[in-house]
Structure 1
Amino acid sequence: MALKNRDILPDVAKPVHYHVSLFDLQLGGSWDYKGIVRINSKITRSTTEIVLNSKEIEVQNVEIYGSDGKKLAKVSEITYDTKSERVTLKFPEEISPADAVLSINFTGTINNAMAGFYRSKYKAVADPTEDTPKEGEFHYMLSTQFESCDARRAFPCFDEPNLKATFDFEIEVPIGQTALSNMPIKSERNGSSSELKFVSFETTPLMSTYLLAWAVGDFEYVEAMTQRKYQGKSIPVRVYTTKGLKEQALFALECAHRTVDYFSEVFEIEYPLPKADLLAVHEFAMGAMENWGLVTYRTTAVLFDEGKSDTRYKNRIAYVVAHELAHQWFGNLVTMDWWNELWLNEGFATWVGWLAVDNFYPEWNIWSQFVAEGVQQAFQLDSLRASHPIEVPVRNALEVDQIFDHISYLKGSSVIRMLSDHLGRETFLCGVAAYLKAHAYGNATTNDLWSALSKASNQDVTSFMDPWIRKIGFPVVTVTEEPGQISIRQNRFLSTGDTKSEEDETTWWIPLGLRSGPEMTDVKPRALVSKADILGDIEQGSFYKLNGDLSGFYRTNYPADRLEKLGKSLGLLSTEDKIGLIGDAAALAVSGDGTTSALLALLEGFKEEQNYLTWSQISSSIANLRSVFAQNGPVAAGLKKFSLQLASPAANDIGWEFSSEDDYLTVQLRKLLIGMAGLAGHENIISDARQRFQFWDSGTDRNAVHTNLRSVVFGIAISEGGHKEYNAVKQEYIKTDSVDGKEICLGALGRTKDANLVKDYLDFVFSDKVAIQDIHNGAVSVASNSQTRHLLWDYIKKNWNSVEARLSTNNVVFERFVRMGLSKFADHNIAADIASFFQDKDTSAYDRALVIVADSIRTNAHYKQRDEVQVLEWLQTHGYA
């Protein structure tokens, strides 16, 4: 992107080094602090003003010095532009080009918005030190979240990713508190009183402002040393928690130190810092943040309580730890040049994060999980007109929060997986290593990566990857069988099924991944590089399948009889193939390129399926059907019966009881099948779940609800019960000490069908008893319940002022709430009502989310209107209605 298309700071001053000093922290009450930042800068041309980024900061005094320490000028005027988040410093006389030091005194606030320098409240599980900040029953820890544009919320700075500098940081804290930053502690000295100390840290490498980080709290840690030696010695890897939680960090620690070594080998560059710290933060908007040397995490993404936590969280922790540590190279060492290339950071870290987890836990079948969760979610968003290219134009950095989405992360990682499979993983990683070495401590572009991969592979990567990165959407490959040949054609896929000619101009490079014959062996590699082609090397009537293992990022539309044959030959298909087959059939039914009847017929063939990840795709496809057709009574009842009869044999077979020999996937399968059958009306499962819940609730047997079945049992009990069950789980949310317990309870509570309880639940979700980071989880649980989602919309309308006030402190949470809370409807009238309601609101924080909501509802409504009659006919014909 040309610089002229970016709204960036004037280039009269370029930062080289920052010295940030924070002191006089008011730990309670106003939560203010004071600071001095000295910025060694290169003045590039004569000027009387310098512009920096600043938000919610009061600049009090500014002086500029020469490199010899001589004062050149004192600020004569300070003006703020709150909209662009900038402060202009005007000087009485012209400053000539030279090396200079800008010294700024300022005050800021330790906010509670999970952005900038902020405070997190928590209930201590062990006695904190006396000087730990406290208000009422809550204690506080302090930490930072600067990506993408919130370093400016902590201190005035040149807050753009390609304005890299080195940093010295120091902070004054109570003597009993632990201070952390990107680098190891350099020294400590007495503070302004006997109760305070200054902690100074070593100088960072050259890096972007958004990667600077610090934290203060009543911390303890677990530690391991890397097995590899770095410059002759092992590196300490630590996971920090507030006091009393460090034992729950042991699994993350095990993942972390191994991952640091693994990536050092994979990227052919040693981990570049002298330590690697991970920190559990009690209030956190994202999953985690890759600050160099001090990675911060939401508690559920780094803590695991053996015996109390759902094993699903182990899988999550292993992946999130790996994702963030991948960023230490890909993102931190080499940073995208500008925010339009955010995908370079996130898409790659997502793919290589899964790569690391697969290396350590091959039994988890990670790439099948990636196809079931990552690829399918990317397809869903990218099939909307409201999608955007992977590399999306960003004029103003303040727009970027809304593209931290499934396109940047999941479509980005999906096309990287496609490219890696095509080039060969070893060749691909060799190119990545060359890219990192060439641009270390600097900034790079997508074209820089393609150049390195082209050189490593001797292929023109740029030419065949450019459309995937810079064009919107993805293709569907339609197969036509004719005597003696098979024809294939590519078109852009839209979930509404009404692609216009001007929307279908892209010709993608599509690796066909063809497999055929009785053993489903790979045919020689071949790609579709035009709009249409003929495959003449497949014998008429022989068995074949395109897109082996769903390696390519595209849908495949087979003739109906071919889809039926594939459905009857499941033993020849890989798990990824099965997931792709179901996902494609479901998506094509929605768009009208296929039929719901064909999807249901395909799904009937999976009663004998035993793989969790395949069932995961079956479950989500049926859930979407039941959601879309929920308001048509006969169809809804028929689909419920269909779901019941499909899942019941497998649910009955796997049963309730866990064995010490159960592997991870078996544990997850049991949970999914019991939940799927129970919520579809399986009487014995409902009865068992309610009985187990009763034993648990009454205290007769608190172990009656297995740790891994809490979400299922709580959900069924609340769905089938009333006030008693609802109140029991609500109380469990309030008092649980299980790190994942709050998320599990919040999801279950949203399953209530009682309108009064939904109102109580939403009041509860928007109260200060629920952390702002979890509000969207509450909204999603109600929105996913087809019988109550309209109550969520009614609540939002009636309580907008309080909803907005609660959410507006953090745009990431606000956008996620709107997008995930309102997109499940299948009613044109509700879409119109939503559009009308937001017409006079300031929607700048979530305007992209509203477009996605409108597109999603339109898609669902069209699908419902088009297919509900034929779906009912199929259900009646096959004995489900």
Structure 2
Amino acid sequence: MAPPTDRDILPDTIKPINYDLSLFNLDLGGSWGYDGLLKIDSEVKSDTKELVINAKHLEIKNAQVFVKNGTSPVTSSSDISYDKKNERATIKFSENIPAGNAIIAIEYKGTINNNMAGFYRSKYKPTVTPAAGVPTDGEVHYMFSTQFEACEARRAFPCFDEPNLKASFEFEVEIPDDLVALSNMPEKNVTKGSKDGLKKVAFEKTPAMSTYLAAWAIGDFEYVEAFTERKYNGKNLPVRVYTTRGLKDQGKFALEHAHKIIDYFSEIFGIDYPLPKSDLLAVHEFAMGAMENWGLVTYRTTAVLYDEGKSDAKFKNRVAYVVAHELAHQWFGNLVTMDWWNELWLNEGFATWVGWLAIDHLHPEWKVWSQFVAEGYQQALQLDSLRASHPIEVPVRNALEVDQIFDQISYLKGSSVIRMLSNHLGQDVFLKGVGDYLRAHAYGNARTNDLWAALSAASGQDVLAFMDPWIRKIGFPVVTVAEEPGQISIRQERFLSTGDVKTEENETTWWVPVGLKTGTPPKVEHSALTSKEDTVRNVDDSFYKINADQSGFYRTNYPPPRLVKLGENQDLLSTEDKIGLLGDATALAVSGHGTTPALLALLEGFQKERSYLVWQAIAGSLAKVRSVFASNKEISSALKKFTLKLVSPAAESVGWDFPTDEEWLTGQSRKLLLAAAAGAGHEAIIAEGKKKFAAWKSGDQKAIHQDLRGVIFNLAVANGGQEEFDAVKAEFLRTTSVDGKEIVIQALGRSKNYDNAISLLEFVTSNAVPPQDAHSGIIAVAANTETRKAAWQFTKSNWAHVYERLGGTSVVIDRWIKNGLVNYSDTEIRDDIADFFKDKETGSFSRSLVIISDTITGNANYKKRDEAQLLEWLKAHSYA
């Protein structure tokens, strides 16, 4: 079969079968260099004199080719050249490499970098005395690990760095005697090193896998261990959480979940976990949340560690979910891998959905599907409502472009349409199809249509026909409802947040599950809208809602009187229904399909709401409106009063105390409601928070409950002066809590002082804060309507410094830009951003710049359109 022409890929003359990699002469703490010897067992299709292979920041010293079992090389390298732009090396040989089986032996030099990509080093401050062999620089010590997705394995060793060029791996590394080495597979043996004080650690051979899933780590590690309850090949599998010395107890919460999740996935997929062990490693500097390396999953510390005595309880939910997401990849992504990066969503969308499925199984009391609708689903709709969005399956010619599609479309829209499909087919049928797909393509690669074929066979339905537009077309529909006695007419068109869909942008007809909930008590009738317009009959005029439980990925536009009625019939709505209703009303106000007064009238009806997840949706709606109209002081003040009236009863009712054995969701409600009331100026809550802060500042560490650090630090900084700002900033260096630094940065962003905002941005881009955490600072400043302009002014004035500090990893600089500059409602700032970046290198965040421009345009249009009528409504209802 000819290679695809829509991909910029390596020549297919030579393909890898097995990598045998040995690393030695690691200069830990000096030049950070190392030597590598790589033997690639290869299949050579036809005689050739050259090898083109991926390599980045590597120096290839020489290469030789041996035939299988031969002791003398048949040819050696005569010339080595590098294509830095495409990250490739071309090795020319003096004689032909004969067709057939060959071993290519490459000697090279590499560097352990500090860019959180490839084979890299992480700084940390140890909590206990570390092993003598740990490299150190004053108070700072180092651990070493890898991050190869998407195209960074080539930074660590020369390789065929494409997902469908799978090969097995054998790995060996020489390290100091008192350090620990980990890799994808268990240790095979440990032997004496080349000199005293060193040892060689070799690992078992992996199954065939993509280069981006290879992994190793070196450090002063310790672990907590558990075993699966199910047996695999007659044995209970060891599951371990590794940390640097002194932190292992904080891995127990993740460990409790990990071994149960492995058993759960083995059961629901009908395929046993494929490797002989599962390790989870906490990495101190990490650009993403986690990485699903097969058998050795790596995590940002806040995504895997939890300190029962010090951590905020919200991190329980995060840790459990991220552990489940990464373990889902061990099957979906690792056992079966997408054929090429355009189908990244196959990995990420599925792992997101099934990660939540596992947490719902383990923690039904958390109501995670309501959380998914409130968070993931709404974020996906928000991004996908922009012209700057992209299809779930997006063309990727050059793999170096792929980092920017690790976004809410691939993860959250992907998982939302999978949830929609699973709900339609039935979860058992859906999972049977998934299991069939995994068995059919195990240890290989697959495409989206392979999944649809397996699901079609399992369900007896033509899944491809109704899912194809959801995957390959941009956007989603808004379904507009018109009422007639006993029936409704429904019409679909593409939804844009700017509300100005052009004819050529409205050509897609989606398969839309209607999910009519109607009657008293309500029942759900399933049908689908498969044309632009249709009529739904047997509708009870007293109550109906479409898109029951928000399982379909679309917005619904009701006639204004119906929206009011739905607000009055909350007892007939599920939590997901309420969240969907609020999300839709907010988005429709922004786009002009609805109005802000209609949204506020709906919100007024939720004063007695009990659900944390509904309050989360309410808070999100209010934050959007308050953000867009922040520059109008009269409206801003009135919206504050509106918020205060809405949240005060619930905030006063929930109180400050955390009873023993309280439900997790109730604790989350307390934080949200107290924070919302304080943000709206609730005098008694602010006074109590200040009192607790003063006691804490005076040395009483127990004055603030661990779950209320964010609430109290936020209100103290927001309602205080320099003294409060400095006291919270000092906590950054002092805290030993895994989540403490993140909480501090977010609180510092609440200062109403512009100079403090600049000071915070200087701080998070300094060496005092790891690059991975810098974006927390700009998010906090950008969310603060008093100091928001500092986010752009600082970025513009200090661009060289910001880029140097954060640009080493595309994910980190993209996050800074995307999260920091998207909240404006001013077209002058939009144009200034575009003008500033037009002559800059923006390859790693070009997509985000378009998203920013689209979002600001939509915000500005919304503000201009609704400002007068919003003020009029607020005055008429005595808020202004």
Query: TM-score, normalised to structure 2's length?
Result: 0.99
Deviation by residue 1:357-397 (Cα, 9 ceiling, x = unmatched): 00000000010000000100000100000000000000000
Amino acid in the other structure paired with 1:693: F
Determine the structure 1 residue equivalent to 2:561: 561
- Deviation, 1:703, is 1.1
User: How far apart are the structure 2 equivalents of 1:798 and 1:327?
Assistant: 41
Report the 3-state secondary structure (helix = DSSP H, G, I; strand = E; otherwise coil) of the residue aligned with 2:701. Answer: coil
> Is the contact between residue 758 and residue 794 of structure 2 (CA under 8 Å) also seen in structure 1?
yes
Determine the structure 1 residue equivalent to 2:390: 388
Deviation by residue 1:462-521 (Cα, 9 ceiling, x = unmatched): 000000000000000000012453110000000000000100000000111111001111
Determine the structure 1 residue equivalent to 2:621: 621
Amino acid in the other structure paired with 1:578: K
Amino acid in the other structure paired with 1:845: S
User: How far apart are the structure 2 equivalents of 1:844 and 1:2?
Assistant: 27
Determine the structure 2 residue equivalent to 1:651: 651
- Deviation, 1:538, is 1.5
Report the 3-state secondary structure (helix = DSSP H, G, I; strand = E; otherwise coil) of the residue aligned with 1:653. Answer: helix
- Deviation, 1:93, is 2.5
Deviation by residue 1:391-429 (Cα, 9 ceiling, x = unmatched): 000000000000000000000000000000000000000
Determine the structure 2 residue equivalent to 1:856: 855
Is 1:76 paired with 2:78?
Answer: yes
Determine the structure 1 residue equivalent to 2:574: 574
Determine the structure 2 residue equivalent to 1:405: 407
- Deviation, 1:29, is 2.2
> Is the contact between residue 775 and residue 812 of structure 2 (CA under 8 Å) also seen in structure 1?
yes
Is 1:632 paired with 2:637?
Answer: no
Report the 3-state secondary structure (helix = DSSP H, G, I; strand = E; otherwise coil) of the residue aligned with 2:590. Answer: helix
Report the 3-state secondary structure (helix = DSSP H, G, I; strand = E; otherwise coil) of the residue aligned with 1:495. Answer: coil
User: How far apart are the structure 2 equivalents of 1:773 and 1:45?
Assistant: 46
List gaps (5 residues or longer) in structure 2. none
User: How far apart are the structure 1 equivalents of 2:118 and 2:661?
Assistant: 46
Determine the structure 1 residue equivalent to 2:497: 495
Determine the structure 1 residue equivalent to 2:450: 448
User: How far apart are the structure 2 equivalents of 1:175 and 1:344?
Assistant: 42
> Is the contact between residue 321 and residue 355 of structure 2 (CA under 8 Å) also seen in structure 1?
yes
Is 1:794 paired with 2:793?
Answer: yes
Deviation by residue 1:163-194 (Cα, 9 ceiling, x = unmatched): 00000000000000000000000001111111
User: Residue 186 of structure 1: which of 185, 188, 195 is its match?
Assistant: 188
Amino acid in the other structure paired with 1:565: K
- Deviation, 1:792, is 1.5
User: How far apart are the structure 2 equivalents of 1:848 and 1:424?
Assistant: 36
Deviation by residue 1:431-471 (Cα, 9 ceiling, x = unmatched): 00000000000000000000000000000000000000000
- Deviation, 1:92, is 2.0
Determine the structure 1 residue equivalent to 2:95: 93
Is 1:748 paired with 2:747?
Answer: yes
Is 1:426 paired with 2:428?
Answer: yes
Deviation by residue 1:758-777 (Cα, 9 ceiling, x = unmatched): 12111111101001000111
Q: 5 Å matches for 1:714-729? A: 714-729=713-728
Determine the structure 1 residue equivalent to 2:38: 37
> Is the contact between residue 67 and residue 74 of structure 2 (CA under 8 Å) also seen in structure 1?
yes
Amino acid in the other structure paired with 2:671: K
User: How far apart are the structure 2 equivalents of 1:14 and 1:789?
Assistant: 52
User: How far apart are the structure 1 equivalents of 2:287 and 2:487?
Assistant: 53
> Is the contact between residue 74 and residue 95 of structure 2 (CA under 8 Å) also seen in structure 1?
no
> Is the contact between residue 65 and residue 97 of structure 2 (CA under 8 Å) also seen in structure 1?
no
- Deviation, 1:2, is 7.6
User: Residue 362 of structure 2: which of 340, 346, 360 is its match?
Assistant: 360
Report the 3-state secondary structure (helix = DSSP H, G, I; strand = E; otherwise coil) of the residue aligned with 2:702. Answer: coil
User: How far apart are the structure 2 equivalents of 1:250 and 1:293?
Assistant: 18
User: How far apart are the structure 1 equivalents of 2:80 and 2:645?
Assistant: 71
Determine the structure 2 residue equivalent to 1:685: 685
Determine the structure 2 residue equivalent to 1:698: 698
User: How far apart are the structure 1 equivalents of 2:797 and 2:435?
Assistant: 54
- Deviation, 1:585, is 0.2
User: How far apart are the structure 2 equivalents of 1:105 and 1:747?
Assistant: 47
User: How far apart are the structure 2 equivalents of 1:257 and 1:445?
Assistant: 29
Q: 5 Å matches for 1:143-154? A: 143-154=145-156
Determine the structure 1 residue equivalent to 2:767: 768
Determine the structure 2 residue equivalent to 1:13: 14
Report the 3-state secondary structure (helix = DSSP H, G, I; strand = E; otherwise coil) of the residue aligned with 2:89. Answer: strand
- Deviation, 1:816, is 1.1
Report the 3-state secondary structure (helix = DSSP H, G, I; strand = E; otherwise coil) of the residue aligned with 1:141. Answer: strand
Amino acid in the other structure paired with 1:624: K
User: Residue 259 of structure 2: which of 254, 257, 260 is its match?
Assistant: 257
Amino acid in the other structure paired with 1:695: A
Amino acid in the other structure paired with 1:15: P
User: How far apart are the structure 2 equivalents of 1:414 and 1:611?
Assistant: 22
Q: 5 Å matches for 1:162-311? A: 162-311=164-313
Amino acid in the other structure paired with 2:248: K
Report the 3-state secondary structure (helix = DSSP H, G, I; strand = E; otherwise coil) of the residue aligned with 1:176. Answer: coil
- Deviation, 1:94, is 2.5
Determine the structure 2 residue equivalent to 1:61: 62
Report the 3-state secondary structure (helix = DSSP H, G, I; strand = E; otherwise coil) of the residue aligned with 1:752. Answer: coil
User: How far apart are the structure 2 equivalents of 1:720 and 1:492?
Assistant: 44
User: How far apart are the structure 2 equivalents of 1:879 and 1:814?
Assistant: 45
User: How far apart are the structure 1 equivalents of 2:206 and 2:485?
Assistant: 67
Amino acid in the other structure paired with 1:619: A
Quickly say closer, same or farther: Cα 1:462–1:847, change in 2 above 3 A.
same
User: How far apart are the structure 2 equivalents of 1:16 and 1:311?
Assistant: 46
Determine the structure 1 residue equivalent to 2:27: 26
Deviation by residue 1:257-283 (Cα, 9 ceiling, x = unmatched): 000100000110001100000000000
User: How far apart are the structure 2 equivalents of 1:5 and 1:571?
Assistant: 53
- Deviation, 1:46, is 2.0
User: How far apart are the structure 2 equivalents of 1:35 and 1:7?
Assistant: 27
Determine the structure 1 residue equivalent to 2:459: 457
- Deviation, 1:705, is 1.1
Determine the structure 2 residue equivalent to 1:664: 664
User: How far apart are the structure 1 equivalents of 2:310 and 2:327?
Assistant: 26
Is 1:535 paired with 2:536?
Answer: yes
User: How far apart are the structure 1 equivalents of 2:130 and 2:98?
Assistant: 53
User: How far apart are the structure 2 equivalents of 1:871 and 1:97?
Assistant: 75
- Deviation, 1:95, is 2.2
User: How far apart are the structure 2 equivalents of 1:495 and 1:716?
Assistant: 32
Is 1:785 paired with 2:784?
Answer: yes
User: How far apart are the structure 2 equivalents of 1:799 and 1:241?
Assistant: 36
User: How far apart are the structure 1 equivalents of 2:434 and 2:171?
Assistant: 32
User: How far apart are the structure 1 equivalents of 2:791 and 2:370?
Assistant: 34
Report the 3-state secondary structure (helix = DSSP H, G, I; strand = E; otherwise coil) of the residue aligned with 2:229. Answer: coil
Report the 3-state secondary structure (helix = DSSP H, G, I; strand = E; otherwise coil) of the residue aligned with 1:155. Answer: coil
Report the 3-state secondary structure (helix = DSSP H, G, I; strand = E; otherwise coil) of the residue aligned with 1:170. Answer: strand
Query: TM-score, normalised to structure 1's length?
Result: 0.99
User: How far apart are the structure 2 equivalents of 1:826 and 1:867?
Assistant: 13
Amino acid in the other structure paired with 2:577: D
User: How far apart are the structure 2 equivalents of 1:280 and 1:538?
Assistant: 54
Runs of 4+ in 1 over 3 A off after TM superposition: none
Quickly say closer, same or farther: Cα 1:96–1:661, change in 2 above 3 A.
closer
User: How far apart are the structure 1 equivalents of 2:428 and 2:757?
Assistant: 53
User: Residue 340 of structure 1: which of 339, 342, 353 is its match?
Assistant: 342
- Deviation, 1:340, is 0.2
User: How far apart are the structure 2 equivalents of 1:315 and 1:421?
Assistant: 24
Report the 3-state secondary structure (helix = DSSP H, G, I; strand = E; otherwise coil) of the residue aligned with 1:38. Answer: strand
> Is the contact between residue 518 and residue 544 of structure 2 (CA under 8 Å) also seen in structure 1?
yes
Determine the structure 1 residue equivalent to 2:584: 584
Is 1:803 paired with 2:802?
Answer: yes
